[in-house]
Structure 1
Amino acid sequence: MATRLIPPPTATVRGVRRSFGGTPVLDDLHLDLVPGELVALLGRSGSGKSTLLRLLAGLDRPDAGQVTVPGTVSVAFQEPRLFPWRRVGRNVELALREGTRTERRDRARSALAEVGLTEKASVWPVTLSGGQAQRASLARALVREPELLLLDEPFSALDALTRIEMHALVLDVWARHRPAVLLVTHDVDEALTLADRVIVLDQGRIALDIAVRSARPRDLHSPDLVEHRERLLAQLGVELPGRVTA
């Protein structure tokens, strides 16, 4: 009988501690992100979500412990962070460090086409809507074909309909490329809509880790997702109407 090979994690976090001004934000944190997994990270403000993302992105270092990400990493932030003095296509090209000018331009245009912005390559960022700017930011993250894609609350400033469109887009490009994805969010419903796994950080540690096995597209009113939602909200300290607490 053939032995099934298990691929190594895309990212590992082992015993990580990080403090600011003497206050611990991450405390002996352990986490694996596996190839092709879409993980949502929840937590109250100050729980360490953005700190963990910065460590995985290589933008910060832990005080103790080890963060290992052997492959390519890309980040899309809450703000699109497009340079206003460069056209949209050139903004996407900036993520590329290799190839000729023509090769970089072609890859940038391909990434923009993937997020539905083919016709916007030559325009200035100021002319984009909020949703289009986030699509451009996502294209810039995807153009490097990362093994790990980090999304730091990228939809929080968008209106409800644009958020739904962006959810569908993220699932589409994730299914096509299959990177490991870590999505930082405050929105429990967003996490349950998108993720294979939802993690809650509390006081610098993982307080809850739920596998979401429902087929996509998901009905948030289905019994299993309602149960997940109640557990997540309870862990986040949100008291549901009608719930009797001891």
Structure 2
Amino acid sequence: MTPAQAPLPPLAERERTATTAAERRAGEPVAVRLQGVRKSFGDKTILGSVDLTIHRGEFVVLLGPSGTGKTTLLRLLTGLERPDGGEILVPRQRTVVYQEPRLIPSKRVLGNVVVGQRRSAAVRAAGTKALDEVGLSGKQRDWPATLSGGEAQRVALARALVREPELLLLDEPFAALDALTRLQMQDLVGDLVARHRPAVLLVTHDVDEAVRLADRVLILNEGSFAVDVDIDLARPRDRNDPEALRYRAAFLAELGVGRDATHHLGRSTP
């Protein structure tokens, strides 16, 4: 089954300030390739012959109703689950940021960033630099218990970045944050990805988040990708821009929110 490229309404005629997502992909190596990947639990098929390619530097957001296999796909990419069939190719250097920061209470902030790595001056310097990048300069010796939710999640991001991943997997990392902190973290992640250029797969239920961050949006439903569409909007993005609102309405419709759930976006066909 091959996902159809979803036909959104044409973009308004205006001066373009950035290349399209397809043009950006063209010059980048492939970081992730899934071919015919299948996964079932008992008699229930979660993923049925899924194909997916993600290029280095590409920010892909995965949407879908609960229970459609988003977390299963993420676990397959991390190696925590094995497919029942098909082929998965991923880079060796890959890291995950979860909804919870998962910091070790008995280690200070810098210790959490470099946990699992050999102790050396170079590793400590890299950890300190990563903390600087996420806006936590001077927090190296703080304890996790003293951090706000947003600060703790920044530490989790620094821990991912210090490993210089070719693939960054984000499992609803902003879901537990308040609205303002969530927007700040979205901006931070967008900036960091633009700077470091890993391939990114973000799993979220937040359509606004998808439109704000993604180069490309996938919607997973009934074991396959119902939608695979590029978001060709210049950055930074205004959520009230008419074109952004059209993407938002189309994705919500595809997810069954609002009227005519199949009008705006094409579906894949067997």
Q: Which residue in the other structure is 1:164 paired with?
A: 183
Residue 101 of structure 1: how far off its partner (Å): 2.1
Residue 162 of structure 1: how far off its partner (Å): 0.2
Q: 1:52 to 1:245 in 2, by over 3 A?
A: closer
Confirm or deny that 1:73 pairs with 2:106: no
CA contact (8 A) 1:95 1:140 kept: no
Secondary structure of 1:41's aligned partner: strand
Secondary structure of 2:30's aligned partner: coil
Q: Which residue in the other structure is 1:198 paired with?
A: 217
Q: Which residue in the other structure is 2:154 paired with?
A: 135
Secondary structure of 1:61's aligned partner: coil
Confirm or deny that 1:235 pairs with 2:254: yes
Aligned pair partner of 1:155 in 146, 149, 174: 174
More divergent stretch after superposition (50-59 vs 133-142) = 50-59
Q: Which residue in the other structure is 2:239 paired with?
A: 220
Q: TM-score, normalised by structure 1?
A: 0.92
Q: TM-score, normalised by structure 2?
A: 0.84
Give the aligned residue type for 1:191. Answer: A
Residue 70 of structure 1: how far off its partner (Å): 2.8
Q: Which residue in the other structure is 2:73 paired with?
A: 52
Q: Which residue in the other structure is 1:19 paired with?
A: 40
Confirm or deny that 1:175 pairs with 2:194: yes
Residue 218 of structure 1: how far off its partner (Å): 1.0
Aligned pair partner of 1:35 in 45, 52, 56: 56
Distance 1:198 1:185 in 2: 11
Q: Which residue in the other structure is 2:21 paired with?
A: none
Distance 2:86 2:41 in 1: 16
Confirm or deny that 1:146 pairs with 2:169: no
Paired-residue identity, %: 55
Distance 2:152 2:223 in 1: 32
Residue 244 of structure 1: how far off its partner (Å): 10
Runs (5+) with no aligned partner, structure 2: 1-25, 264-270
Distance 1:245 1:70 in 2: 36
Secondary structure of 1:94's aligned partner: coil
Give the aligned residue type for 1:117. Answer: L
Higher relative contact order (CA 8 A, sep 6+): 2
Partner deviation per Cα, 1:124-171 (whole Å, 9 max, x = no partner): 111110000000000001101111100000000000000111011111
CA contact (8 A) 1:56 1:67 kept: yes
CA contact (8 A) 1:149 1:182 kept: yes
Measured on the aligned residues, the alpha-carbon RMSD in Å equals 1.8
Residue 95 of structure 1: how far off its partner (Å): 4.8
Distance 1:209 1:73 in 2: 23
Distance 2:102 2:261 in 1: 45
Residue 204 of structure 1: how far off its partner (Å): 1.5
Secondary structure of 1:10's aligned partner: strand
Q: 1:142 to 1:245 in 2, by over 3 A?
A: closer
Runs (5+) with no aligned partner, structure 1: none
Distance 2:53 2:197 in 1: 16
